Structure 1
Amino acid sequence: MPMTRYTVYFGGHVQGVWFRATAQRLAAGRDVAGYVRNLPDGQVLLVAEGTQEVLAALIADIDAAMEGNIQEKRIDETPATGEFGDPGDGLTIHR
């Protein structure tokens, strides 16, 4: 399957609630690579590459795990660049 990139902006009460660590944990063992970071405006940014199926499942699991915190979400899908290494490298937390 072709690789794709999801750039996801999560809004709501998403900082200071272990959101990034939860996303990193949920990505572990999946064929994804990328990062997650807090933004100055209070959102969390997740940028990940993998197949569309794997990325959609990851986002669904994040939604379920953090459902009380996420109030809005925007997903931009673009072609993968491979800049994060091999799928399976997981998510890193950027500070």
Structure 2
Amino acid sequence: MRRVHAVVTGEVQGVGFRYAARARAQELGLAGWVRNLADGSVEVEAEGETGAVERMLAWLDRGPRAARLASVAVTETPVTHATEFTIER
């Protein structure tokens, strides 16, 4: 299992990006959360199978005119079997 903590910049503000990120994470079977930050970026924490975490990172980093990763920290985690992915304020 892996956990990723990422900050995403670019065209990410607003409800649409957060809901899309949550939907993608749920499709991949990830647990975690997504929230807007005061500086206009979005913070994401997701946990799950290694391949699913890597696919989520690829989805989050879609190029200079869309969302792009500003920072990423990936750690190995014990299995928790959690599957909830939430949008936080």
| Coarse TM-score class (shorter-chain normalised) | 0.7 to 0.9
Unaligned runs of 5+ in 2: none
Matched residue SS, 1:28: helix
| Superposed counterparts of 1:1-95, under 5 Å | 3-16=1-14, 18-64=16-62, 68-80=65-77, 86-87=81-82, 89-95=83-89
One-letter amino acid of the counterpart of residue 14, structure 1 = V
Aligned alpha-carbon RMSD (Å): 2.3
Percentage of matched positions with identical amino acids: 33
Q: Secondary structure at the match of 1:46?
A: strand
Q: Which whole-Å CA distance do the structure 1 matches of 2:58 and 2:75 have between them?
A: 19
| TM-score (norm. length: structure 1) | 0.76
Deviation, structure 1 residue 68: 3.5
TM-score for both structures, normalised by structure 2: 0.80
Q: Which runs of 4+ in 1 moved over 3 A?
A: none
Output the amino acid matched with 1:77. V
Aligned positions, number? 89
